[in-house]
Amino acid sequence: MANIIDAIITLVNNPITKITEYYNGCNRVKNAGDALEEYVKDIFSNTFGISETGRLERMSNTVSYLGNNYNPPYAMLWDGDAIEIKKIELKTSVLALTSPLALNSSYPKQKISIHSKLIKQGCKQAENGNWKEKDVIYVAGIVDKQSNLNHLSMVYGMDYCANDEVYSRVKSTIKNGVESITGVTFTESNELGKINKIDPLGITHMRVKGVWGIENPWEVFNYVYERNSNKDFTFMCIINEQKWSAFDNRDALLSLIEKTDNLEIQDVRIKNPDNPAQLRDAKLITFYI
């Protein structure tokens, strides 16, 4: 099964910064956001340099589910992790380098469960419905005004955000508060609330939606990694020691690091998102061109 280490190896061997130009040439995308998604799928599936038919076949054998913004997650690996892809676009100022990731109506997650109300039936039926829970990898890319990919990061939700209870408690508290309003009626909704018959005629309604965001990984992990904006492209990945030790292809990446001057791995200590007083061992993998 494919994993994050396979993706790193493929990325190092196929660093494409002009992603929009590249995927426009393949007649696959029209904008930088779509190009980033295609690039991430290609590096996890190792589908560079083959025909479109071969690409689709290999991707089908690597990825068990493909979604989008409205059908999370973006992808699930067969017998592996789930992937969420987020883009930050630099428009007029380098201040955008500190921009948070937009999560919209879904709060950040360490894992996704087959029992989640937010995922569609197609996702639940992936892998013949034999999966129960998957760790989430957040892949974030920073794209400049010329639609070039300047920076890419990969971090696990378990190292990046708090457990589900923290966010669901806030959501439930707000939802219960909204539903305590008297003199109106409510419709069952996965949102914070849908309020009906607000006016005397009973013809006005309002949807109450939560719009979530989270600081980007470069800001969150700035105590172990400093991004070099002078490089054409930088990559940063953090994998906690427990997850790292579970991969059986670690030696392939370590061998590649020995042969590649601008690819490095370091032992670091990162904060536990559920208790920042605790530190956990992790690997910091970096690459630049």
- Give the pLDDT score at 1: 85
- Domain count within the chain: 1
Measured over the CA atoms of residue 74, residue 75, residue 81 and residue 83, the dihedral's sign is negative
- Give the pLDDT score at 95: 55
Residue 173 lies in a domain: no
Mean pLDDT on 149-177: 94
Residue 8 lies in a domain: yes
Per-residue pLDDT reduced to its tens digit, 18-27:
998 888 877 6
- Give the pLDDT score at 83: 98
The helix or strand, by DSSP H or E, that contains position 272, with its residue range, turns out to be: strand 263-272
Count Cα atoms within 13 angstroms, Cβ side, for 164.
Answer: 9
Residue 150 lies in a domain: yes
Which residues in 248-285 are b (16+ Cβ under 10 Å) and which e?
eeeeebeebbeeeeebebeebebbebeeeeeeeebbbb
Phi, psi dihedrals of residue 81, rounded to the nearest 5°: -90, 165
Residue 192 lies in a domain: no
Range of the domain at 46: 4-163+211-288
Beta carbons of 181 and 195 less than 8 angstroms apart:
yes
Residue 186's DSSP bridge partners are 195
Residue 118 lies in a domain: yes
Per-residue pLDDT reduced to its tens digit, 62-93:
999 999 888 899 999 999 999 999 999 876 55
- Give the pLDDT score at 282: 98
- Give the pLDDT score at 90: 78
Residue 142 lies in a domain: yes
The confidence band for 189, taking pLDDT boundaries of 50, 70 and 90, is confident
Residue 202 lies in a domain: no
